[in-house]
Copies of this chain bind each other. A is one copy, B any other.
Amino acid sequence: MEKIYSLRAEIFKALSHPIRLKIVECVSKEEKSVGEIVKYVEAEASNVSRHLALLRKAGILSDRKEGLNIYYCLEIPCVMEFFSCVNKVVKTRLELNRDMLKKI
């Protein structure tokens, strides 16, 4: 398997967790401190910290230190364009479920 497919897969893997998707949404408009992100996603700080590190390592977020705070922002804004397509897939799946329900 050519390496390029693995490199691409890593980006999708970085986006394949609900907390990480919520983090991406949180920082998509403007940078946010870790504290703000933790409040937004409603998860344990240490857990969020790991997800942030993973997103940074994948190249999706970048960070900046200022005093005690660390601010994260979306490094690759085009990632946001994924969501309308993903919502389309999700919608189709939910509609299929609804149609199956009708048949019961």
Contacts and interface: CB of A to CB of B under 8 A. Distances in A.
Interface of A: 1, 4-13, 15-22, 41-43, 58-60, 75-76, 78-79, 81-90, 92-94, 96
Q: Which of A7, A22, A83, A84 has the most CB of B within 10 A?
A: A7
Count of identical protomers in the assembly: 2
A92 B62 CA distance: 12
A63 to B, nearest CB: 14
A43 B42 CA distance: 41
A18 to B, nearest CB: 4
Given A18-B6, A89-B60, A1 B41 contact: yes
Nearest to A20: B9
